[in-house]
Structures are given as C-alpha cells and as structure tokens.
Amino acid sequence: MIQELASGGKEDYMNFAVLAEKYRDEIVRRTQELIRIPSIEGEPREGMPMGENVGKALDYVLATCRELGFQTKNLEGYAGYAECGTGDEILGILCHLDIVPAGEGWTRPPFDGVIEGDKLFGRGTTDNKGPAISAIYALKAVQEAQIPLQRRVRLIFGTNEESGWRGIEYYCRHDEMPTMAFVPDAQYPVINVEKGIAHLRLTHAGNGDQPTSDESTALQVLELQGGHRANMIPATCTCRLAGDPQVLQEAAKIAQTLQKDPYPGVQACIEDGTLVLTVTGLAGHGSTPASGVNAIAHMIQVLHRITEAGYSFDSPAVAQLLEFLKTQVGLETNGQSLGIGYCDEVSGELTLSMGVLRYEAGQAYVDFDIRYPVTKELAEIVDPIRQAAKAYGIQVELGHTNRSLHVPEDSFLVQQLLSVYEKHTTQKAKPLSMGGGTYARALDNAVAFGPAMPGEQRNIHREDEFTTITDLVRNTVIFADAISLLAGK
C-alpha cells in the first residue's frame, strides 16, 4: 500500500542543490561521452539485440552506475537497471538510451557534444540521454545526502524507445514492475495523459494498368524518397524525374510556383536530362505535426500540381499513392478527410504525420504516425484508413502501436510530483496531456515528469538538438527531490 509521505523539506532541497552543483562537471562530461555514442538501432549482435552502438550506450551507463555505487543488471542487452535501497516496493525512473537518426541541417556535429556557452548540442541531449545522466546523479545525491528510503529506487534504461519498445517490453516480461514511476522524457509539470500511438505503412505494389497518356507528357519516376522514421517530421523530400526535355522544363516551372519563404523550400533543377525536385521543410517530432513543416506533404502538393497541368507518371504505384495522399490527407494533420478526425476533452485532437515516403523496386509506400485520443480504440483508427485505401489498390500494414495512458489527476503520484514542481518553480500547475509517447504507458502507475520546462524548445527530433548545463543541473535537483518525496521515509 502506498502511503502519503511528508515533503523532504528545505534542508534536503538545499543539500541536493549543493550536491548537484558539486557534480556539475561530472554530469556534463558523462552526458558528452554518452552523446558521442551514436546509439541508433542497428543490426543485432550477440548480447546487443539493438545493435553495437545501442549496446555500447547501455554498457556505458551501467558502468557509470556501478562506479557511483549502485547495483546494476543487464537484461540480455534489451534493457538494464541500477538501484539502491531496500523494500518490497519500487520507485522506477525510466529513461531510454537510443536515439533517432541525426537527419539533415545540423550546424554542429550531432555526435560530438559541442558546448557553446550554456548550451550542449547533440542528438539525444534532451531526448533522452541528458535526463538519464541527471537521473543517475539525482539518485547519487539522495544517497550522499543519506535520505532514508522505504522503497527501492530503480533507474531503468530502455534501448529502442524510438523504434519499437522491444527493450522495455522485455524488461516488463522478465523483471519486477515498479510500484510507481516517473519518466523524464517530456516536460513539466506532469504529463498524466498520453494519446494512443499507431504507425501504419501504406503500400501500393505497382499492380494495375499502366497510366494511359501521351508518351510526350509522361514522366518517368527514377526516385522518390523523404524522411527517416515514422515519428520524425521529414525535413527534406526528393524526387527525380526523366522525360521529354520540354516537359521537364515545364514541370520545373510548375514546381517552383509552390516555393514559400521560409518553408516549404522548393528547388527544381535539370541535371543531365533529369529533373531533380527537392522540397525542404522543418523537422520536428511526429507527435506534434504543427511544430514542423512536413516536406513529404508539400512534395505531394508539388507532384499533384504537375499532374493537374496534364502530365502523368509512368508508375502506377506512385500515381495511385500520390492521388490517395492528395485527396485523403493533403496538408491536414488531424485525419479529417480519412474519417478519423476524432477529439475528446481528456486528450485533445488526433494527429497524423507522414514520416517516410519511398519508391523502390516498383513499389511505393508511406509511413503514418498517428496519435489518437484516449477514448478511441485502435480499430476505430485503422479500419477507416483500410477502407479508404482499398479503393486505390493500397495495402495497409499495422506497425508499432502503443496503448494510451490516463493516470487520474488526483492520484498520489500525480499530486506528489505536482508538489515538487510547485516547490521548485513557485508556480501552481495542473497536469497535461500530449501526443508524445513515453515509457510511462508501459506501466500501470507511471507519468512523464520533465525534463523541459513549459514553453522550452530543445529541438527534439530536429537539427541542432540541445540541452543546457543549467537544465542538467536543475533536473538533477528536481529528480532528487522527487525521489526523496516518493521513496523516502
């Protein structure tokens, strides 16, 4: 039974602030060293099911925890944990060590951990390596401050949060489940509602009749590609077309009419008899499509404008998929034209983002990232899309999914974390909902807590992702105070 605990008090808070400041250089150095491991999921290796670099990141973090005096365990490379304290109950703090690809547009090296003033740049600095290091040193601060614990505190490190959740699922099947947990992978004050997640791949296999058109107006699709992951708003999309030189010239002029300042950027140039179209958008997280400019969505507008002028594409796969995306999605990010424009009071509006577009081996496909309200079931999302796609000869394959999360606002966990936030900011606050998915939804009693303050932008899933040294130290203090409050006697 979870009992309410008294706040750690001003003396404990001051201890944590002093200790975090003492650890400052170590925290920064450890974060830089972890950033320098490009832990994007790769080919499995023995003991490293998510690839060598993810395995190295897990080994690095567990070695750090052992150096600091914690007990550690590596769960076959799928996950790992470090813990201290005693008791039957566990307070969990869940972080992930994998990252999305760097993507385009960086002005600093994404894996060097460059420091400029108070800023530390690199893929994963905020999502989620910096918070993982802060959590480690928060637990060290609690230990060094000799805060008596009535629950074990367990730092749990996942390995493929960005690409499938096999790591945390392995943990949940093979080890103890926390009594309660927080996940520093979103923002303050507390996120107690997370929408359901569905990744869908829509594929046209290239079957069907060849488009009937005058050969003089036909365009051969040599390449069509954009994006890296379903959950990343793509910053660039490229299409290469061949055909009659005059047709290519006209298509280039049409494309350039869709250029806007600053986004979308549309470049059209003819190189060695090939028209190269490049659309530039603004990268971001797929859960918040309004925060970026989707290069794939705007490439679809460009190609559709070319067909409206009387030109056609030689590939049935490309032609049909583009027609479907133009009529059923367009520039919408709420799924309205697909018949899934749902919204509820608890979690807000459904969002839809196109993360990947490819044409290869005669097939064309697009990957959707959908975040749907907690009051809806997965079938209510997938079935209408399948029905709409069927008319275009498109197959729909369901990929990664995550259940929604709703921890009541009046719960012990939410209320205690809100009190920590208020203590450190002097601001009264209510919990929030979001489309982003964190490890909180893998457990029965967990919420997201930090690491960003409301309104802070840290370029997550975008070029030049960063944290600040102030963030790293501040979060160490806040996490330590949360540990003391939730697990202390």
Q: How confident is the model at residue 206 (pLDDT cuts 50, 70, 90)?
A: confident
- C-alpha 466/C-alpha 27 separation (Å) is 15
Q: What is the distance between the alpha carbons of residues 62 and 444, in angstroms, rounded to a whole number?
A: 25
Secondary structure (3-state) at 280: strand
Task: Quote the pLDDT of residue 84.
Answer: 95
| Residue 209 pLDDT grade (very low, low, confident, very high; cuts 50, 70, 90) | low
Question: Could you give the CA distance from residue 476 to residue 467 in angstroms, rounded to a whole number?
Answer: 13
Per-residue pLDDT, averaged over 199-203, amounts to: 98
Q: Which of 12, 161, 464, 471 is catalytic?
A: 161
pLDDT tens readout for residues 109-162: 999 999 999 999 999 999 999 999 999 999 999 999 999 999 999 999 999 999
How many helices and strands in the chain, by DSSP H and E?
Answer: 10, 27
Helix (H) or strand (E) holding 304: helix 295-308
Question: Can you give the pLDDT at residue 385?
Answer: 98
Q: Set out the domains of the chain in order of their start, with CATH numbers.
A: 9-194+405-487 (3.40.630.10), 197-402 (3.30.70.360)
Does 98 participate in catalysis according to the annotation? yes
3-state helix, strand, coil in the chain (%, to 5): 35, 30, 40
- Model confidence at 10: pLDDT above 90: no
Long-range contacts of 8-13 (CB under 8 A, 24+ apart): 8/147, 8/481, 8/484, 8/485, 8/488, 12/145, 12/147, 12/481, 12/484, 13/423, 13/477, 13/481
What integer is the mean pLDDT of 476-482? 97
Look up tokens 């385009």; give the residue: 104
pLDDT reading at 293 higher than 90: yes
Give pLDDT tens digits for 403-438. 999 999 999 999 999 999 999 999 999 999 999 889
Q: Which residues contact 309 (CB under 8 A, 6 or more apart)?
A: 250, 251, 254
375 burial class (0-12, 13-18, 19+ CB within 10 angstroms)? middle
Within a 10 A sphere around the Cβ of 96, how many other Cβ atoms?
Answer: 29
Q: Above 50 in pLDDT, residue 8?
A: no
Any idea which residue has 């605990």 for tokens?
A: 5
Catalytic residue, candidates 12, 98, 162, 471? 98
Instruction: With a cut of 60, say whether residue 6 has pLDDT above it.
Output: no
Short-list 311, 300, 296, 299, CA closest to 267: 299
Using pLDDT thresholds of 50, 70 and 90, give the confidence band for residue 214: low
The packing angle between helices 316-328 and 295-308, to 10°, is 110
Beta bridge pairs of residue 352? 370
Structure tokens at 385: 């899309």
Tally Cβ neighbours within 10 Å of residue 270. Answer: 14
φ, ψ of residue 117 in degrees (nearest 5)? 65, -125
Arithmetic mean of pLDDT, 260-276:
94
| Whether pLDDT at 334 is above 90 | yes
pLDDT at 4: 34
Does this model's pTM top 0.95? My answer is no
With 90 as the cut, is the pLDDT of residue 447 above it?
A: yes
Cα distance between residue 402 and residue 333, in whole Å: 19
Question: What is the H or E stretch that residue 335 is in?
Answer: none
The tens digit of pLDDT for each residue in 296-314 reads 999 999 999 999 999 999 9
Asked if the model's pLDDT at residue 211 lies above 60, the reply is no
Q: Could you tell me which residues are beta bridge partners of residue 468?
A: 119
pLDDT at 5 over 50: no
pLDDT score recorded for residue 164: 86
In this structure, which amino acid lies at residue 95? C
Residue 484: the pLDDT is 96
Q: DSSP assignment, residue 107? A: S
Annotated active-site residue 209? The verdict is no
Give the contacts of 462 (CB within 8 A, at least 6 positions apart).
103, 233, 235, 282, 283, 284, 285, 292
Q: Is the pLDDT of residue 9 over 80?
A: no
Residue 152, φ and ψ in degrees, nearest 5: -65, 145
Q: Is the pLDDT of residue 210 over 70?
A: no
Would the pLDDT of 12 be above 90? no
